[in-house]
Amino acid sequence: MRHVLSILVENEPGVLSRVVGLFSGRGFNIESLNVGPTLENGVSHITICTSGEEQIIEQIMKQLHKLITVIKVVDLTHLQAVEREIVLMKVGAEDSKRAEVLRIADIFRCKVVDVSPDELTLEITGDQGKIKAVVALLQRFGVKEFIRAGTVAMRRSMQLAD
């Protein structure tokens, strides 16, 4: 099962390696990892996407709580949350196909961030489903380069009953 963990940590040297070490020590792969500062000075936010059994994820979360530099750990898997990823994708867009590439980009609200005579570089932001759909539609034009940043996620303010 896919899990998205949201972790607040004190921004100190070695914190990331200790957090990641808990996953590798149990043989778990991290599918995506995103780290960035928060508005609070000296505090960073880590978002980790991984797959695994509930019991193992619970063990990892308990171990994370024991780390002195960890402030808060939340498994967003069963909570209502907003998830986003960003992709930069360079797509073949010769004159005859440029209009179609731009139409697809417009439908999915992608931004054109660079243009050359035979390529367009698009910025795609959204959840995994949107990213997958856009990539699938644009593959036939030839993807020249593809960079995908890890998931960032935040718990929704209002948790509605399912």
**How high is the pLDDT of residue 144?**
95
12/35 Cα distance (integer angstroms): 13
pTM > 0.85: no
Q: What are phi and psi of 132, to 5 degrees?
A: -60, -45
User: DSSP character for 97?
Assistant: H
**How high is the pLDDT of residue 147?**
95
143/93 Cα distance (integer angstroms): 10
Place of tokens 């200790």: 18
**Residue pLDDT, tens place only, 35-89:** 999 999 999 999 999 888 888 888 888 888 888 899 999 999 888 899 999 999 9
The mean pLDDT of the chain is 91
